[in-house]
Chains A and B, each alone.
Chain A
Amino acid sequence: MMMSGGWRMVPMDMNMPMLPGLEGAVPVVGPFMPGTMIDPATLPEARPSLVVPLSNMDTLDISVSMVRRTIAGHEMIMFGYNGQYPGPLIQAPQNATIIVRVKNEIEMPTTIHWHGIRIDNRFDGVPGLTQEAIGRDETFTYEVRVPDAGMYWYHPHVREDVQQDLGLYGNLLVTSPDPNYYGPAHREEIFVLDDILIDDQGALPWGEESPTHALMGRFGNVMMVNGKTDHQMEVRQGEVVRFHLTNVANSRTFNVTFGNAAMKVVASDVSRFEREQLVTSIVIAPAERYVVDVRFDKPGEVAIANTIQAINHFRGEFYPHVDTLSLVTVSDQNADSEVSMAFETLREHSDVVREVRPLREHFGREPDHELVTTVRVQNLHQSIVLSMESDTLYAAPMEWNDAMPMMNWLSTADEVTWILEDVTTGAQNDEIDWSFQVGDIVKMRIHNKPDSFHPMNHPIHIHGQRFLVASIDGVENQNLVWKDTAILPVGSTMDVLVEMSNPGEWMMHCHIAEHLHAGMMFSFTVNDQAP
């Protein structure tokens, strides 16, 4: 439905009546679509991601450009790294340095942030903090040293809500020299999870001056694995598949299930877990990564799915919702049984255990810094305010779906400010001014205030360092893993131990793209030498 100012009505579940007073309302910002004056036929069709193995000091050229893509039957102009979706899968050995020359050929300034890498601060990709944004036709050369094995990813740090959503993301796999770093598996699969908001004409426009969907973030209604809406796999009976999951969505946390297949979580953002652990699903928030081994025991079809209990705010009810992400056909041919059997052993990663042990002594002590998360709104449409305020008697720990699509769409970063507040000083977002020394173990206590206008889960991301989630709501974490992003559910209090190992100016922010651009960020300093 066309509306004023070039906006189209946000797709909605028509069982949900529109709030009175919102008929015809559009966001206060203008609509943005990439390449509006360009005939898509003149653009190259995006290709699936290619693997690019690099050695120490190898150089990779990446162009950031417009591509033609078809998603769910809609041909659209999107962005791509080297014309690929996702961007090239870069592989590099642990401790290598790779050189990446980035040329910007899109109409917006951009950068590349190397998410999770304890990188030299100059190459962290934060405009205004570590570099100037790369303008159109300009080039910037990143030197990326990769000190930790695992799965990482790269994405812009300029208007992520637009650029990332339009396809600017790729994985960086850092390989360990240890051939037994992970246990045996028959094969490995990369799963980049994303969603995109589409109506019958294609992607819904983004906000031009600032993001729409500032309240809950822009949830998509079409799910993708590696940029595909119809991902499929074939495996043999008993096959153990190691999945490397990355969530690149703007706001959606996925609950990934693998039917009745046996699964164990092995690693996350910056390391392996102390111990492999059997699980029934993988909860993965924007920017997080998980490595999970899955054994497909029975022939037949298995749907890898996002399995959630969504909320219908109009009816005040939870309801089950399942989106298939990939369809796996398990043949009755048997996979090599030795590897299948080895799956049963839950490995302990003694080097991780040893490495994190000294940090356990910080578990009991008082935090060095305390933060709360909250939100402030101004000039928001009165019927949205009334409706939201009547709904604050209960907020779920996590928001798995966009239960109020129109209200969410209409809220922009002009009206909504998401806040990280220092409890001691009252400083909010960029007013926060912390500095540390290399070698400090900093304990941060972060509380997600449930009594705000609209409490919501936040994936909290810290640049350039690694941290442990020591406890949530006073329950100590028994199986530690180095993280760069962690979920803070509504009402929860999370203690994290940040190992300040990397000097520079580093960001800390919510990784819901719209929350970040609605203010939810600050930077802190890590000094190399005593001041």
Chain B
Amino acid sequence: MLQILALLGTIGAFDYSVTSSPAETKAHEIIPTHIELCTVGPQYYAFELVTTKNIPGTGLATGQVQASVSGNSPFSVQLAPDGSYAYDLHVSLQRMRAPLQGNLVAWVTTTEIDRIERMGTLDANLQASGRVSWNKYIVVVTLESSDDPHQEQWAGPIVMRGMSRSGMMHTMVGHGALQEENCAAYGYGN
């Protein structure tokens, strides 16, 4: 299965200044031409996607998620009805190619992976946009044989993943002088 879905080989030394695509451009061969710097949110809430190296050709892949909390809210911040931040997300991958077969799909999931939402299929520029209304979340890019927008959870291998900045919130539970509880039980939820 994995072999069937295998990606193109590693691009190798990648020139970010390249602005033209290869002569024989096909959708699946388009090389991202530049890194979109922060245009949709404060750099502070942006985070990296890290390759799993599970898929051939993704060993050097990099990725970012831009997260904007202001959106077009009349109030400077965009919130879900329960008061959670509503982030507009923009996923972009570099230093890899779109797969010959299958689709790269971006998902967002809670830290406990008890809820999963499909953000969308990455476009030919290896980008996707979506929204999440959770305070802590993980963005996952997987390789899927299906392009079904109603797919409820991923079936293919994880290519890249990264955690929202809020995942870096410090917890003192289970550490040092304040140790009282099993640290695995707290601090990684919500």
Contact = CB atoms under 8 A, between A and B. Distances in A.
A473 B42 contact: yes
Interface string A477-499: 11101000011111111100000
B69 A281 contact: no
Interface stretch (A108-116, A395-403, A521-529): A395-403
A397 B85 contact: yes
B71 A475 contact: yes
A400 B135 CA distance: 13
A391 B169 CA distance: 7
Interface string A314-328: 111111110000000
A257 B190 contact: no
A96 interface: no
Interface in B51-96: 68-77, 79-85
Nearest to A283: B75
A450 B38 CA distance: 15
B74 A277 contact: yes
B168 interface: yes
A487 B180 contact: no
A489 B170 contact: no
A474 interface: yes
A393 interface: yes
Contacts of A279: 74
A19 to B, nearest CB: 9
A435 to B, nearest CB: 28
A320 B51 CA distance: 33
Interface residues of B, number: 43
A307 B83 CA distance: 6
Contacts of A309: 82-85, 135
Contacts of B76: 283, 469, 472, 486-489, 492, 494
The SS class assigned to the B binding surface is loop
Contacts of A516: none
B187 A315 contact: yes
Interface in A359-385: none
Given A282-B75, A486-B76, A489-B77, A473 B186 contact: no
Interface stretch (B10-18, B150-158, B171-179): B171-179
Contacts of A281: 79, 81, 83
A473 B72 contact: no
A308 interface: yes
Nearest to B176: A20
B146 interface: no
Contacts of B84: 309, 318
A398 B77 contact: yes
Name the residue in B43, B70, B171, B187 with the highest tally of chain A Cβ atoms < 10 Å from its Cβ: B70
A8 to B, nearest CB: 25
Nearest to A472: B70
Contacts of B40: 473-475
Nearest to A448: B42
Contacts of B170: 313, 316, 390-391, 393-394
Contacts of B69: 397, 489, 492
A273 interface: yes
A477 B85 CA distance: 19
A487 B75 contact: yes
A469 B82 CA distance: 26
B74 A314 contact: no
Nearest to B185: A315
Counting contact residues on chain A (CB < 8 A from B), the size range is 35 or more
A199 B177 CA distance: 29
A307 B76 CA distance: 17
Contacts of A474: 38-40
A397 B83 contact: no
B186 to A, nearest CB: 5
Contact of A479 (B44, B74, B85): B74
A150 to B, nearest CB: 15
B81 A307 contact: yes
Contacts of A320: 82-83
Contacts of A282: 75
B165 interface: yes
B61 to A, nearest CB: 25
Interface string B137-164: 0000000000000000000000000000
Interface in A257-311: 257, 265, 268, 273, 277, 279-284, 307-309, 311
B189 interface: yes
Contact of A307 (B42, B82, B85, B178): B82
Contacts of A396: 85, 135, 166
Contacts of A475: 40, 68, 70-72
Contacts of A308: 83
A494 B70 CA distance: 10
A394 B166 contact: yes
A91 interface: no
Name the residue in B68, B81, B170 with the highest tally of chain A Cβ atoms < 10 Å from its Cβ: B170
B32 interface: no
Name the residue in A17, A265, A308, A473 with the highest tally of chain B Cβ atoms < 10 Å from its Cβ: A473
Contacts of B44: 450, 490-491
B95 to A, nearest CB: 25
A121 interface: no
Going nearest first, the 6 A-B pairs with the smallest beta carbon separation are A316-B171, A491-B44, A491-B42, A283-B75, A487-B76, A472-B70
Given A282-B75, A475-B40, 16 more contacts: A255-B79, A281-B79, A307-B82, A309-B83, A315-B186, A317-B171, A321-B83, A390-B170, A393-B168, A394-B169, A397-B69, A473-B42, A473-B70, A479-B74, A490-B44, A491-B42
Interface of A: 17, 20, 255, 257, 265, 268, 273, 277, 279-284, 307-309, 311, 313-321, 390-391, 393-394, 396-398, 400, 450, 469, 472-475, 477-479, 481, 486-494
16 contacts: A17-B178, A17-B180, A265-B74, A280-B80, A309-B82, A315-B186, A316-B172, A321-B83, A394-B168, A400-B83, A472-B70, A475-B70, A487-B76, A489-B76, A491-B42, A491-B45
